[in-house]
Structure 1
Amino acid sequence: MIGRRRRSRSREAANAHCFSDVPGTSNSVPKASQFEPEPDLKSDIENILSALQQVRQKTISDGQKESDELLSSTVAEIKALVDQAKEKIHADREALSKQTTKICKEYETALKEEAAKYKTAYEG
C-alpha cells in the first residue's frame, strides 16, 4: 500500500510540472476554449469536419439502401412462400375433393346394394 501511495504521489507531482513552464497557467490543463487555432488550421479542421459529416451521411444513406434491399428481398421471399403454400393448398383441396367424390360414389353403390338386399329379404 505504501509503495502505491508513493507512486501515485510521484505521478501527481510529474503531472503538476507538465504545464508549470507554460506562461499564464497555474499547473492546470488548458481548456478547449483557450485554444485558438490559426486561421489556416481552423479552415482545415472545418473542411475535415465537413468531409466527416459527408461520410457519415453517405454511410447512413448506404445503410438505408442496404436495409431497403434486404427488406425487398425478404418481402419477395415471403411472397414466393405464400404463393407456394397457396398452390399446395389448391392441389390438396382438389385431391381431397376427388377422394371425397370417389368415397361418396362407393358408399352410394354400397347403400344401393344393401337396399336391394333388404328389399329382397323382406319382400320375398
Structure 2
Amino acid sequence: MLDLGGFPMSAAAGSAKRSREELECLRPERKAKKRESVDDDPDLDLSSDIKGIISALHQIREKALKDGQKKAEETIKRQSLMKALLKSSKECESSLKTEYGKFQAAYEKFCKEKQAHIQTFKGKKEKTSLSELEKACTEKLASAEESLKKKKQVKCTNKAEESPSKTSNSIGILKTTSFLNV
C-alpha cells in the first residue's frame, strides 16, 4: 500500500487509488489499442477506401468537366475560324470572278484589236505589193516603149528610105502602146 504522509489508508481507498493510477497508466495503452483496433477494423478500412474512391471520382469528374470545357472552347474557336475562312473564301471567289470577267473583256478587246491590226497590216502589205508591182510594170512598160521607139526610129529611118507606108504602121503601133500605158 501506499503511504500518504503517515496516514493509514483503508484497503478500499487504497484499491480505488490504485485502480485510478493503473487506469491512468493504462490509458495511453488503451488509446493505442483503440487506435490499433480502429486501424484493424475492416469496416473502417472499407469506409476510408470508399471515401478515397469517391474523392478520386470527384477529381476525375472535375478533370472531365475541365476537359469538356476546353474541348467546347476549342470547338467554338475552330467553328469561328472555319466561319472566317469560309467568308474569306467566298470573298476571294467573288473577287476572282470579277477579275476573270475583267480579264475576259480585256482579252476579247485585245483579240478584236489584233484582228483589226492584222487586217490593216494585210491591207498595207497588199497596197505596198500592188504599188511595187505597179511601179515594176510601169518601169517595164516605159523601158518597152523606149525600146519600141528606138526600134521604130531605126525602122522608120530604114523604111523612110524604103517606103512611106510602113511608117504609118509603126505610128499605129506607137498609138497602141501609149493607149496601154494609160
Q: TM-score, normalised by structure 1?
A: 0.59
- 2:117 corresponds to which of 87, 110, 121: 121
Partner residue, 1:91: 87
Structure 1 segments (4+ residues) deviating >3 Å: 47-51
Percent identical pairs in the alignment equals 5
- 2:51 corresponds to which of 55, 71, 86: 55
Give CA deviations for 1:63-90 in whole Å, capped at 9, x if unaligned. 1111110121111112111211211121
RMSD: 2.4
**Number of aligned pairs?**
87
Partner residue, 1:101: 97
Shift, 1:121, TM fit: 1.2
Which consecutive residues of structure 1, in runs of 5 or more, have no partner in the other structure? 1-35
The structure with higher relative contact order (CA 8 Å, sep 6+) is 2
Give CA deviations for 1:16-37 in whole Å, capped at 9, x if unaligned. xxxxxxxxxxxxxxxxxxxx93
The SS at the match of 1:37 is helix
Partner residue, 2:60: 64
- 1:73 corresponds to which of 44, 55, 69: 69
The residue type paired with residue 52 of structure 2 is R
The structure in which a higher percent of residues are helix is 2
Which consecutive residues of structure 2, in runs of 5 or more, have no partner in the other structure? 1-31, 121-182
